[in-house]
Amino acid sequence: MSFLQNIRIRIGLQKREVVWSDSPPPVRTHADDMKVKSIWTGMVSRCHNPKSTGWRSYGKQGIKVCDEWREDFESFKEWTYANGWGYELTIDRIDGWGDYCPNNCRWITLEENLKRPQRPKKRPVK
């Protein structure tokens, strides 16, 4: 077992907590993969498909999925499992106007997500 397999990283709304564990990482099942695929499909659809119900809030506003994830589900899946995904968590963009990409995403609970301030209706001018 490698050093990294002994560390589970839990990413919270405002903090990162490293939890040391002697137990091996969880075994991922086909059901896990299907749930992650569903999350990925919804993310790509709302950002890149004008016929998606979420298009107006995401793709039309200029929010995209990075090429690495959009073109390769396996890359997204690997990131997902390495960054603390669980059934009780939802994907969150740290910068609400930023794209879905590894350095702008994390997994948080729905409760944490609902406590976050909403993104302004219009993109701020830089």
Q: For the chain, how far is it from start to end, CA to CA, in angstroms?
A: 47
For residue 56, the 8-state DSSP code is G
Q: Is-contact 109 10, C-beta < 8 A? A: no
Q: 1-19 pLDDT, tens per residue?
A: 444 444 444 444 444 555 5
Nearest-angstrom CA–CA distance, 95 and 84 = 19
Domain positions in the chain are 30-115
What are the tens digits of pLDDT across the range 57-115? 999 999 999 999 999 999 999 999 999 999 999 999 999 899 999 999 999 999 998 88
As a whole number of angstroms, the distance between CA 34 and CA 64 comes to 22
d(CA 100, CA 92): 9
Per the CB < 8 A criterion, the answer to whether 107 and 86 are in contact is: yes
For residues 23-37, average pLDDT: 83
pTM for the full predicted model: 0.74
For residue 5, the model assigns a pLDDT of: 41
Average pLDDT over residues 39-60: 96
The residues that bridge with 19 in the sheet, in sequence order, are: 8
Q: How far apart are CA 116 and CA 126, in angstroms?
A: 22
